[in-house]
Amino acid sequence: MAEENKTTPVLPNDNVDRRQFFAKLGLGSLSIAAAGTAAFAYQFLSPNVLYEPSPIVNAGNPDRYPLDSVTLDVNTGIYLIHSQEGYFALSAVCTHLGCLTAWKPELGIIACPCHGSKFTRYGVKIEGPAPRPLPWKRVWLNDDGDLLVDRSTDVPPLQRDSFLRV
């Protein structure tokens, strides 16, 4: 029989000395720091867009609003009022601390349920801590005959007697 070679295989030296250990630890730490920096840089450079609804609200056909009505649209925070003079819109947000006001038909006023400010149906402050009247909003008709309200545009005080007549 042939004689078998019984030599032991030569294994690489797995012993890591102190210098190599700290070098690998340092490179690993730098790699983690670089990855974190890259992640934050990507987040910083990516666009941060805030999508908000349009400030222009389609309030629908003017026939939906009976004469001498005050209609609150809770979703948009506006009152659409059909008075003898015509249509106009008020912000439903109290000028004191930004609470949503409520129409009180039995009293004929708009009231803030949080802090007690009271306003007439024309937005004039009657009492309470509110510093200003409720702002009027711009109202017009579109080509289809629907009422449009621009929540971002306040009507100046000198033009507050201008009503939309339909």
pTM: 0.65
Domains of the chain (ranges, CATH numbers): 56-159 (2.102.10.10)
Q: What is the pLDDT along the chain (166 residues), one digit of tens a residue?
A: 555 666 666 556 667 788 989 999 999 999 999 999 999 999 999 888 888 878 888 888 888 888 888 888 888 889 999 988 888 899 999 888 888 898 888 988 999 988 889 998 888 889 989 898 899 898 888 888 888 999 888 888 776 667 777 7
The letter for the amino acid at 102 is A
Bridge partners, 147 (sequence order)? 60, 141
How far apart, in Å, are the Cα atoms of 136 and each of 23, 26, 83?
Answer: 70, 65, 14
Residue 162, both tokens: 């201008």
Rg (alpha carbons) of the chain, rounded to whole number: 35
